């Protein structure tokens, strides 16, 4: 081959590489084979980026010398920002800054609200502490949002998108939490309030001091009241719904006392009757489910005392969620001490949707009764079939104006309490999704529940379990023997051919 021909071919090859590189930088894409599509932007993110009408600048403060386990975090965030830039058609611009290289940049990061995190690094048999930055500041005009630490995985997209949403929303709708009847304060539902604050202004309202629910309120939330709600207040709630207002109710009419070991029906505070007028009936028996959570029990064995976990069917573990915007992506919720919900309406102008179902092995326990934590449960206790624990209604519930109502037969599941305790993300996600649906704003539902948070093991029969157990041991050994047998047969066949002179 002539020298000139070789040079020309190398130049053409280099030109092709340059063109491909230029095109790939404009047509960025990646394949996502994960079950929960964690590397694919959700519809919520796509909608938010498409509707941006101003430029958002992202300053990503990331240290250059991150330890190995965190290097991918920086690359993932850069890939995500590149995708955001492309989807927003230039309304997202970003830059990466390494604060460790310059004291001025480090001071700038800290003044912006990005604090360093201290990481222990093992090097040459010595543990050293590394000061690392992994935060970002988003700016739109004179508004600013801070991500103090960019979390890896699915939380990265949620954190970035919610920050963009906060910057781009100019007038947040209002959500009001009813007060005055023993309901938790905003601080006692801290996780829910924090999540709702992305899209809404959350405030409290005492209807005994108001003549009506203000028209600017999009959704009224009634969470775990314990004292009587007056008929005047209910009439104000009905008036609110007759004008299109939506109501979220999380309430249990049952009392389960683990300390006293006693089960009873709760006092009548008027809420059951108000729901009955909407054809939503709360049962008078406890729902028990073979698929349940556990309680910690102290047990004695001779002179030894220890604590163990016992299945407790009064704590149904919900994993069956009918298809509905409020239940997208949910894995499991536990609702302690609940009754079933029965909808008896037949009005064709009202759409009814069950939202939470117990397992087929469910039963009903009468009240009042004592509570035996160590009771030995059997199949006869779970013969009532699937029970409904949450419902959604949409239509002419009061008057002729369409409104919405969500009812959950438990009010404790979203309360952090005082002092606050962390509750399951799915509990908060469900309540937030329900309020989004009630408020006609489903923007972040898909993103909020993206990713698997808690996937319980599937229940299998004893026979299937034994077969899987021994199969895992025997099948690999059989495969090895089969492979060895085939190889030996091939070897013997070749040897026979050689002996016969067929090379």
Rounded to the nearest integer, the mean pLDDT of the chain is 87
In the prediction, which pLDDT does 423 show? 92
Q: Tell me the three state secondary structure of residue 103.
A: helix
Work out the number of other CB atoms within 10 angstroms of the CB of residue 298. Answer: 8
Q: For the chain, how long is the longest CA-to-CA vector? A: 107
Is the pTM value of this prediction over 0.75? no
Residue 452 pLDDT exceeds 60: no
In the prediction, which pLDDT does 70 show? 80
Q: Please list, in sequence order, all residues whose beta carbon lies within 8 angstroms of the beta carbon of residue 405, skipping any fewer than 6 positions away.
A: 241, 246, 247, 249, 278, 280, 392, 393, 394, 397, 438
Using pLDDT thresholds of 50, 70 and 90, give the confidence band for residue 468. Answer: confident
Per-residue pLDDT of 170-224, as tens digits, reads 788 899 999 999 999 999 999 999 989 888 899 999 999 999 999 999 999 999 9
Which of 31-45, 149-163, 229-243 is predicted with the least confidence, judged by mean pLDDT?
31-45
Beta strands in 341-489 (DSSP E): 341-343, 350-357, 362-365, 369-370, 388-395, 403-408
Work out the number of other CB atoms within 10 angstroms of the CB of residue 395. Answer: 16
Mutual orientation of helices 154-168 and 68-87 as an angle, nearest 10°? 40
Per-residue pLDDT of 62-114, as tens digits, reads 988 788 778 888 888 998 898 899 889 889 999 999 988 788 989 999 998 89
Which of 179-193, 323-337, 442-456 is predicted with the least confidence, judged by mean pLDDT?
442-456
Residue 300 pLDDT exceeds 80: no
Residue with tokens 């108000």: 274
The two three-digit tokens of residue 279, written as one number: 């054809």
User: Average pLDDT, stretch 6-14?
Assistant: 84
Say how far apart CA 429 and CA 184 lie, in whole Å. 18
Residue 355 pLDDT exceeds 90: yes
In the prediction, which pLDDT does 440 show? 74
In the prediction, which pLDDT does 122 show? 74
Using pLDDT thresholds of 50, 70 and 90, give the confidence band for residue 386. Answer: very high
- Asked if residues 130 and 71 have their Cβ atoms less than 8 Å apart, the reply is no
In the prediction, which pLDDT does 353 show? 96
Cis status of the peptide bond prior to 419, with omega within 30 of 0:
yes
Higher pLDDT, residue 67 or 279: 279
In the prediction, which pLDDT does 135 show? 92
First-residue to last-residue Cα distance in the chain? 39
Q: What percent of the chain has pLDDT over 70?
A: 90
Q: Please list, in sequence order, all residues whose beta carbon lies within 8 angstroms of the beta carbon of residue 325, skipping any fewer than 6 positions away.
A: 433, 436, 437, 442, 445
In the prediction, which pLDDT does 36 show? 62
Residue 392 pLDDT exceeds 90: yes
Beta bridge mates, 305: 300
Residue 458 pLDDT exceeds 80: no
Among the ranges 140-149, 260-269, 380-389, which has the highest mean pLDDT value? 380-389
Say how far apart CA 21 and CA 27 lie, in whole Å. 10
Residue 306 pLDDT exceeds 80: no
Residue 29 pLDDT exceeds 70: no
Half-sphere exposure of 431 (CA within 13 A, CB side): 32
Mutual orientation of helices 154-168 and 43-50 as an angle, nearest 10°? 30
Using pLDDT thresholds of 50, 70 and 90, give the confidence band for residue 56. Answer: very high
Higher pLDDT, residue 304 or 108: 108
Half-sphere exposure of 75 (CA within 13 A, CB side): 8
User: Average pLDDT, stretch 374-399?
Assistant: 94
Residue with tokens 């008929």: 231
Residue 385 pLDDT exceeds 90: yes
- Asked if residues 233 and 391 have their Cβ atoms less than 8 Å apart, the reply is no
In the prediction, which pLDDT does 441 show? 64
Torsion from C-alpha of 454, 455, 456, 458, nearest 10 degrees: 170
Using pLDDT thresholds of 50, 70 and 90, give the confidence band for residue 138. Answer: very high
User: Average pLDDT, stretch 244-264?
Assistant: 92
DSSP structure class, residue 381: G
Using pLDDT thresholds of 50, 70 and 90, give the confidence band for residue 24. Answer: low
- Asked if residues 411 and 284 have their Cβ atoms less than 8 Å apart, the reply is no
In the prediction, which pLDDT does 496 show? 83
In the prediction, which pLDDT does 443 show? 61
Which of 38-47, 52-61, 310-319 is predicted with the least confidence, judged by mean pLDDT?
38-47
């Amino acid at each position: 081959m002539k020298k000139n021909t070789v040079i020309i071919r190398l130049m053409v090859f280099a030109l092709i590489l340059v063109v491909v590189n230029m095109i790939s930088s404009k047509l960025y894409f990646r394949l996502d084979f994960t079950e929960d599509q964690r590397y694919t932007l959700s519809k919520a993110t796509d909608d938010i980026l498409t509707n941006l009408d101003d430029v958002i600048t992202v300053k990503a403060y990331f240290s250059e010398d991150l330890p190995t386990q965190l290097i991918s975090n920086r690359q993932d965030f850069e890939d995500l920002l590149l995708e955001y830039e492309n989807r927003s058609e230039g309304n997202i611009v970003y830059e990466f800054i390494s604060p460790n290289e310059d004291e001025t940049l480090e001071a700038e990061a800290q003044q912006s609200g990005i604090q360093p995190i201290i990481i222990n690094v093992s090097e040459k048999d010595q543990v050293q502490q590394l000061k690392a930055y992994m935060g970002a500041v988003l700016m739109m005009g004179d508004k600013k949002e801070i991500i103090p630490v960019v979390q890896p995985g699915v939380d990265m997209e949620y954190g970035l998108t919610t920050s963009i949403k906060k910057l781009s929303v100019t007038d947040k709708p209002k959500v009001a939490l009813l007060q005055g009847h023993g309901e938790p304060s905003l601080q006692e539902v801290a996780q829910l309030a924090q999540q709702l604050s992305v899209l809404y202004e959350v405030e409290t309202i005492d209807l005994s001091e108001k003549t009506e629910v203000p028209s600017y309120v999009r959704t009224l939330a009634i969470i775990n009241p314990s004292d009587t709600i007056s008929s005047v207040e209910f009439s104000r709630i009905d008036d609110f719904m007759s004008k299109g207002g939506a109501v979220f109710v999380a309430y249990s009419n049952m009392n389960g006392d683990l300390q006293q070991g006693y089960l009873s029906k709760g006092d009548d505070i008027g809420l059951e009757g108000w729901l009955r007028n909407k054809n939503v009936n709360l049962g008078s028996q406890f729902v028990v489910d073979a698929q349940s959570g556990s309680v910690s029990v102290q047990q004695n064995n001779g002179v030894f005392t220890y604590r163990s976990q016992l299945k407790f069917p009064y704590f149904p573990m919900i994993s069956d969620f009918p298809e509905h915007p409020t239940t997208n992506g949910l894995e499991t919720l536990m609702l302690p001490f609940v009754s079933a919900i029965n909808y008896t309406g037949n009005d064709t102008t009202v759409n009814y949707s069950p939202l939470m179902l117990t397992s087929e092995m469910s039963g009903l326990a009468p009240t009042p009764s004592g509570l035996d934590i160590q009771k030995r449960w059997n199949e006869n206790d779970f013969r009532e079939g699937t029970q409904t624990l949450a419902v959604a209604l949409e239509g002419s519930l009061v008057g002729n104006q369409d409104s919405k109502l969500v009812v959950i037969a438990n009010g404790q599941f979203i309360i952090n309490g005082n002092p606050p305790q962390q509750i399951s993300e799915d509990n908060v996600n469900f309540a937030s999704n329900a309020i989004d649906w009630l408020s006609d704003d489903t923007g972040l539902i898909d993103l909020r529940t993206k990713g698997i948070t808690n996937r319980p093991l599937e229940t299998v029969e004893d026979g299937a379990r034994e077969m899987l157990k021994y199969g895992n041991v025997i099948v690999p050994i059989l495969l090895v023997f089969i492979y060895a047998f085939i190889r030996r047969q091939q070897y013997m066949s070749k040897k026979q051919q050689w002996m016969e002179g067929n090379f």
